[in-house]
Chain A
Amino acid sequence: MNINNKIKERKTPEEIKEAIILELNNGPKGASEIAEKINSNWITTEKFLNELMIEKKVIEIISASKSKVYGSASDLSFFYLPLSEEIRKRTLSLLSTLNEIWKKETNTTPQKTILQKLAVEFVEKNNLQNEVPILRFHYGQTLALRFEEYRTTDVYPLKDGQKNEIRELITEYKGYSAKESKLKQYKKPSMVFYKIKEETINNFCLEKEEYLKKDLFNLFANYPSELSASFKLFDKLMYCAINILNIKDNKNEYLSNIRGAFFLVWDCLTTEAYFYDVEKAISPEKKDLFVQIKSNYLNSKITNVSEFIEEIENEINNLEPEEINASDNLSDFVHELFSE
């Protein structure tokens, strides 16, 4: 036996599978990396990875023939991201500790959204963002991991006074519904874009057209400029929505389509926001994998939504001048802007 070869323990298939899942719960990996970590060989590891995929416990997240990357279906990170181990540990232990204190204080289990919003406020108040990152996502800010009670973890090391601070936050948050805790977060100046989106959706649902146009312009002005990949989509959505509001008759069908498009575009741009914010929590050696995962998810979302929005855009562009309010009378400034 070659002295450099590791001595491989004999493990049962179930033990190997369990070891694979444990590894993947700490982030996505290729077959050879898993094999090394669980002290097995590549062929055995790949054989059991295939079985685990059939059992729907493992997912192939990158399918390139020579460099497949796998993730655990029970990975608590969104999009199976390669978050650093330290960040995973810290985030999970904070969520778990907050959950335990909540249960002791109220004899109830917190709703997941409320727990996340409370955790974000705690992290911000204590400037813990470097070890427990805060990320924007579909419904505002969240920590980098979902919380599942069955996943055991260490207790978060709280400093003096922090336990009392948590109790005060729990007293406040236990009176909130999930929506109220979300709206509380949207009141922060950094979340103004989310707040305006909420108002826009409300006015869409209530069909309050007189406010809707103002909301749309407000959204336009507050678009986070760092989300450049989704901007063209967002711009097309705004273009369609503002023109639809100028249609003279029968605009309801268009409005209902544009409302549907609004949710799809929101999904894209908040996915981009999530990837933008999470990048700092990715270990340098996993940056390439991160970029691959990001472009897989984001590009496919953007392509799908683009097709939908372009259909609406074509319909809007096809409207005859008499169907839509718009004169050729430009203001002096816009006239100058377009005069060659």
Chain B
Amino acid sequence: MHLIISQTLYMNYLVNKMDDFIDTCVIIASFDNKDKYYEIINIFLEGTERLVISIYQEKEEIPNLFLRRQKLFMEVIKFLQNSDYPIDYSDFTEREKISIKKLLTRITLKQESEESLNKMLEEVITLRRKVFHFIQKKVFKKVIPIVDIKGDLVSIIKRINQNKSDAKIIASAVQEHQTNNLIAFTLDKNDWKLNSIREKIENLGYECPEVRFLR
């Protein structure tokens, strides 16, 4: 089984250029000049012709990420307008909850105003446009329909990162790799550690793509 997959990949490698599957954090960091890897990422992206992302990233992960980050500001602005406003934390991740609390402290210390919060909200909205412009204009291919993402693969990947959303992105990359040879690029050293589960993935009949960390 492995031999057949490897031979297919090798043939693809010979006839095709490799596709570069990119994680969402790579796209976002390319628009943030405070990011340590801003320049490296932009050099990498400029030199890459066949950028690939998953349909799941385009249709669910990225829209939901921006929606939550915008809601984060909406909630704190409501608190700023009325200090009795009960913040609804239910939609947020643990990291986002910490960010909300930081902002609430700064509001209480009068270090943030409605104007400064609106400005940050506008930065998020502008960043969102850049990310979707990038997806529309620079991404060569969006792969694996969401309904076709394999549940068994997602379950195994979720064991290393506990994040279902990331697991679906990685599963999409793995599935796409079976027909089109690709290398996955990310900044996220924790969630893309496929080595520890490589054997389990291969036991399901999938070849793991190479993962490169852009840092």
User: What residues make up the interface of A, taking CB atoms closer than 8 Å to B?
Assistant: 213-214, 217, 220-223, 225, 232, 235, 238-239, 242-243, 246, 314, 316-321, 324, 326, 328-340
Contacts and interface: CB of A to CB of B under 8 A. Distances in A.
B33 interface: yes
A340 B188 contact: yes
A217 B123 CA distance: 12
Contacts of A340: 25, 187-188
A118 to B, nearest CB: 29
Contact of A243 (B31, B125, B136, B137): B125
Given A246-B126, A317-B129, A340-B25, A235 B120 contact: no
- Interface class of chain A by DSSP: helix
Shortest 3 CB-CB contacts between residues of A and residues of B: A221-B77, A335-B34, A217-B118
A238 to B, nearest CB: 8
B142 interface: no
A339 B37 CA distance: 11
10 contacts: A221-B81, A238-B125, A242-B125, A317-B133, A328-B31, A334-B124, A335-B32, A337-B69, A338-B29, A340-B188
A200 to B, nearest CB: 14
Contact of B132 (A317, A329, A337): A317
B137 A318 contact: yes
Contacts of A220: 70, 74, 77, 121
Contacts of B113: none
B67 interface: yes
Given A319-B133, A326-B126, A335 B35 contact: yes
B129 A243 contact: yes
A225 B79 CA distance: 14
Contact of B128 (A239, A246, A319, A320): A239
- Interface class of chain B by DSSP: helix
B141 to A, nearest CB: 18
B91 to A, nearest CB: 10
A318 B133 contact: yes
Interface residues of B, number: 43
B34 to A, nearest CB: 4
A235 B67 contact: yes
B103 A235 contact: no
B28 interface: yes
A316 B28 contact: no
B74 A242 contact: no
Given A239-B128, A337-B69, A328 B38 contact: yes
B125 A239 contact: yes
A332 B159 CA distance: 33
B123 A235 contact: no
B122 interface: yes
A330 B78 contact: no
Contacts of A339: 29, 32, 35
Contacts of B81: 221-222
A234 to B, nearest CB: 11
B70 A330 contact: no
A324 B133 CA distance: 12
B121 to A, nearest CB: 7
B99 interface: yes
B136 A318 contact: yes
Nearest to B189: A340
A318 B121 CA distance: 21
B88 interface: yes
B31 to A, nearest CB: 5
B158 interface: no
Interface in B1-60: 25, 28-29, 31-35, 38
Nearest to B131: A317
B130 interface: yes
B133 A330 contact: no
A337 B33 CA distance: 14
Nearest to A326: B126
Interface string B135-163: 11100000000000000000000000000
Nearest to A340: B25
B127 interface: yes
Contacts of B74: 220-221, 223
Nearest to A232: B67
A98 B114 CA distance: 43
Contacts of A319: 129, 133
B77 A328 contact: no
